[in-house]
């Protein structure tokens, strides 16, 4: 019986439409280069009007399955981490599974904002160990449709993208999740939100148009809470696994803001050359940023090696997040 879990396939997808930071700076009256200096973001991609969430998630999942080299019938579970599903009801994961031609796996959405991928990954890893079946974890968001273009705090950051990983049973107990910590801080519940659309403020009641869009209440407070959550959980995970910071081969943080994850790496005492980033080209696509970055460093940079230690960390709306240490 297999004792480990192998992350054996990686995929990603971004829309064709590229939006340079200069375009947003001109619209908001910001100095040239302001966005890059504040966030590290040079560009991002937005979906076209006809693209849905599953349209964008599909090619990322297909690439991951192809990269893994496994038959679609082997997938026993599909988890889709997203805050922007095709519809509020039903969940989008069963539709994605159907479009992929999977053989009726378990399939459900995980609504965990920026921390959603880590939650989905931990759940899927446990499924693979317990059921001895493979799992597909996809994270995708179309945040461009939730941006208030006049609110600087959100307009400069958010983007659209998808990332995916395939997990399968492995004979080595050394493969898979060495340690993880999931956490939340409901005291920061209202710091990042879309005010209208839930049961507290339904669409059918009077509201301002901007209340349908993303709103960041206090950017400095979000920054401080996110850094604390990511750094504390990251340090706890390394301590629990008895792995020194310098033994981490790749630190793949949620790509919220370059200054944010550089600060996290500094607090965990991770070597700067281990930090992996995609924020420059692709911005912040919430839960999708970690699997997107993993896929990019696998397919484009060829950096991932068997036995590598990968530390992942995230924090976002809720506040919710955590960290995970994975051995490839």
- How far is it, in rounded angstroms, from Cα 233 to Cα 268? 10
- Of 6, 45, 114, 257, which is the active-site residue? 114
Does the pLDDT at position 313 exceed 70?
A: yes
Q: What is the pLDDT of residues 266-290, one digit of tens each?
A: 999 999 999 999 999 999 999 999 9
Cross-strand pairs, 183: 321
Q: What is the pLDDT of residues 162-210, one digit of tens each?
A: 999 999 999 988 899 999 999 999 999 998 887 877 788 887 777 877 7
CA atoms within 13 A on the CB side of 254: 35
Active site residue 254: yes
The whole-number pLDDT of residue 2 equals 59
- Of 254, 257, 298, 309, which is the active-site residue? 254
- How far is it, in rounded angstroms, from Cα 117 to Cα 197? 23
Q: What is the pLDDT of residues 220-271, one digit of tens each?
A: 999 999 999 999 999 999 999 999 999 999 999 999 999 999 999 999 999 9
Q: Which position has the token pair 């995916």?
A: 164
Q: Are 9 and 166 in contact (CB under 8 A)?
A: yes
Q: What is the pLDDT of residues 55-75, one digit of tens each?
A: 999 999 999 999 999 999 999
Does the pLDDT at position 1 exceed 60?
A: no
Task: Please report, rounded to a whole number, the percentage of residues in the chain having pLDDT higher than 70.
Answer: 99
Task: Match domain 176-327 to its CATH number in 3.30.300.30, 3.40.50.300, 3.40.50.150, 3.40.47.10.
Answer: 3.40.47.10
Q: Are 197 and 212 in contact (CB under 8 A)?
A: yes
Would you tell me how many other CB atoms lie within 10 Å of the CB of residue 26? 11
- Which pLDDT band, with edges at 50, 70 and 90, does 217 fall under? confident
- How far is it, in rounded angstroms, from Cα 185 to Cα 287? 18
Q: Is 97 exposed, middle or buried (0-12, 13-18, 19+ CB in 10 A)?
A: buried
What pTM does this model have? 0.96
Angle at 233 between CA 230 and CA 235, to 5 degrees: 100
Active site residue 284: yes
The whole-number pLDDT of residue 162 equals 98
Strands (E), the chain: 4-13, 17-20, 43-46, 75-81, 106-110, 134-142, 160-170, 176-184, 192-193, 215-216, 250-253, 309-316, 320-327
Does the pLDDT at position 211 exceed 80?
A: no
Indicate the average pLDDT of the chain. 94
Does the pLDDT at position 48 exceed 50?
A: yes
Q: Are 14 and 48 in contact (CB under 8 A)?
A: no
Domain 176-327 in the same topology as domain 4-170: yes
* DSSP SS3 for 158: strand
- Of 141, 232, 257, 284, which is the active-site residue? 284
Does the pLDDT at position 98 exceed 50?
A: yes
Domain boundaries, given as residue ranges, for the chain: 4-170, 176-327
What architecture does CATH give domain 4-170?
3-Layer(aba) Sandwich (3.40)
Q: Are 251 and 260 in contact (CB under 8 A)?
A: no
Taking alpha carbons only, the member of 166, 327, 152 closest to residue 238 is 327
């Amino acid at each position: 019986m297999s004792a480990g879990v192998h992350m054996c396939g990686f995929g990603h997808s971004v829309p064709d439409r590229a939006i340079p930071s200069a375009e947003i700076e001109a619209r908001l009256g910001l100095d040239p280069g302001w966005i890059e200096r504040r966030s590290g973001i040079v560009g991002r991609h937005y979906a076209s009007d006809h693209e849905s969430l599953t349209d964008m998630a599909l090619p990322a999942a297909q690439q991951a399955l192809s990269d893994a080299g496994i038959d679609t019938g082997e997938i026993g579970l599909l988890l889709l981490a997203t805050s922007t599903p095709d519809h509020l009801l039903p969940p989008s994961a069963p539709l994605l599974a159907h479009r992929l031609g999977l053989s009726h796996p378990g399939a459900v959405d995980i609504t965990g904002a920026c921390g959603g991928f880590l939650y989905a990954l931990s759940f899927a890893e446990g499924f693979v160990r317990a059921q001895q079946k493979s799992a597909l974890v996809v994270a995708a968001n179309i945040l461009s449709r939730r941006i208030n273009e006049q609110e600087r705090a959100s307009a400069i950051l958010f983007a659209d993208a998808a990332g995916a990983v395939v997990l399968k049973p492995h004979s080595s107990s050394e493969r898979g999740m060495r340690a993880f910590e999931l956490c939340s801080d409901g005291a920061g519940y209202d710091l990042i939100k879309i005010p209208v659309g839930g049961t507290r403020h339904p669409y059918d009641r009077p509201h301002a148009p901007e209340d349908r869009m993303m709103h960041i209440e206090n950017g400095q407070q979000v920054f401080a809470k996110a850094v604390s959550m990511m750094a504390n959980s990251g340090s706890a995970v390394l301590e629990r696994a008895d792995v020194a910071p310098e033994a981490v081969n790749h630190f793949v943080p949620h790509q919220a803001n370059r200054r944010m994850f550089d600060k996290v790496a500094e607090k965990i005492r991770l070597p700067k050359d281990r930090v992996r980033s995609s924020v420059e080209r692709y911005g912040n696509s919430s839960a999708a940023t970690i699997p997107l970055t993993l896929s990019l460093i696998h397919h484009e940079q060829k950096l991932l090696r068997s036995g590598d230690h990968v530390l992942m960390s995230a924090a976002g709306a809720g506040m919710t997040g955590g960290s995970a240490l994975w051995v490839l």
